[in-house]
Amino acid sequence: MTPAKAGEVWVAAISFTSGSASKLRPVLLLWVDAADVVVAAITKAPPRSPTDVSLKDWASAGLVVASTVRLSRLDCLEQNLLRRRLGTLSAGDAGLVRTTWAQNVRLQF
């Protein structure tokens, strides 16, 4: 498998909350920590909160439809759950994700 890097878009096996099964979903790798990766969910649904980032260059990231990164939907996955690399965020979209993270994602306790 190609080494995973932050800023890449991958297809990953995401478990259902019940743990009964999983589904292949696109994710954005936010950081790599040894054998684990922290990812944000990617969806074709439009943005619905300040922590959602609508990707402008979604096709160049390897996605097949207009997509939204949901920074409120984070997972820590073992790297062996990553199935295939789709692409990398453009510099512009990466900047939007970083800005949105800095302005809207923070501890609330």
Map out the domains of the chain as residue ranges: 8-104
66 DSSP 8-state letter: -
**Residue 27's pLDDT band (boundaries 50, 70, 90)?**
very high
Mean pLDDT of the chain: 94
Cβ neighbors of 39 (< 8 A, separation 6 or more) are 10, 12, 27, 28, 29, 30, 74, 75, 76, 77
pLDDT value for 20:
78
Q: What's residue 54's pLDDT? A: 98
What class is the 8-104 domain?
A: mainly beta
pTM for this prediction = 0.93
CA distance 62 to 53: 16
Residue 1 has pLDDT above 70, yes or no: no
SS3 category, 101 = helix
